[in-house]
Copies of this chain bind each other. A is one copy, B any other.
Amino acid sequence: MSDKFKNVTEAQLKDYIKTIFLEVGLPENDASIVSNLMTEADMLGVDTHGVFRLPQYVKRLIAGGINKTPNISIVRERSAMALLNGDNAMGHLVMEKAANIAVAKAKDHGVAWVGANSSNHAGPASLYARIPLKEDMIGIYVAVGSSNHVPPWGGTDLLLSTNPIAISIPSMKRPPIVLDMATTVAAYGKVKEKLQRKEEMPVGWMIDKEGKPLTDPSKSSEGFLLPIGEAKGYGLALMFGILAGTLNGAAFGKAVVDFNADAKSFTNTGHFIIAVDIAAFTDVDQFKRNIDDVWAQMKGSNVLPGFDEVRLPGERSNNLFNERKKNGIPIHDNLKQALDQLSEQLNTKKIY
């Protein structure tokens, strides 16, 4: 580990985040839920979507851009679906609730789909896709990203976000398989991390309006992120945006508010989650053993020159989770500075 990092424990980080949220005015229970989820993001190694986002969330909470005391409610419902109005709450609260509703409905009906509007950035997609795992269900989560960095394929107008998808599948002895991916080559959080760490971006992440590679993260506003598979990634970002945004009455396309540039405007962020009850389809234990076998098949593959082994989606996260349980979560110097500034502003104790 570089000397630019210093580690904090899971408990330290949870406590630090919760204290900040309480100070800002979140109710006790809500502060707990959000600090748990944000810490889980860091534990899972999604360093761009955990405590890294705290200053931005606090800025919005203080400026009134996020509602501190929301009433998250079901506004439309059938047996296998619900639509939530998030009342401009922290996205974590909205989607934790949505995931739990989806699980309860899937238990009765086999499958359930719960969408939300009037929500906000909720951290990494995988947090919510993982919730159904606890009940031996499969989780699928999709969100409209919170700022547009992607044009339609062949275009230059920023009409789409990185609109991510996460899918989680339980296993027996192996870790669950958990895919969490942006529909762009790089997630925008990766660009922000490069900026904070003062590093160049690799070619292929972004291009400028002439179609030339853009590698300086401080110039990211002059270009755009590239979708995976060119027109295919554009197609996925578009469809995910319609399903998570338009269908829910949430923002999509030109209506998306750039929450990086703006601390006050209502973002009307949309997401949805699907829970699939494995028991409705097959024997759960047999299914989970079959997923262990999928692990074994993939791991058993011969490798291409330059690779040491095949990895499963979520394997790296699972390893980091275990490693961080033991050794703590590395906090980069620049992030530490940003958090210290926040602690000074709110007059709360520093992270270390």
Contacts and interface: CB of A to CB of B under 8 A. Distances in A.
A2 to B, nearest CB: 24
A292 to B, nearest CB: 11
Given A80-B80, A228-B233, 16 more contacts: A78-B110, A83-B281, A155-B301, A155-B304, A156-B301, A157-B302, A169-B242, A179-B238, A179-B239, A210-B305, A228-B232, A235-B313, A238-B294, A238-B313, A246-B291, A247-B281
6 contacts: A78-B109, A78-B111, A154-B307, A155-B301, A159-B301, A242-B291
A81 B78 CA distance: 14
Contact of A287 (B113, B167, B246, B306): B246
Contacts of A276: 81, 113, 243, 247
Interface in A70-105: 76-81, 83
Contacts of A157: 300-302
B310 A181 contact: no
B179 A235 contact: yes
Contact of A78 (B115, B247, B280, B304): B280
A303 interface: yes
Contact count band on A = 35 or more
A31 B243 CA distance: 35
A152 B301 contact: yes
A311 interface: yes
A279 B310 CA distance: 44
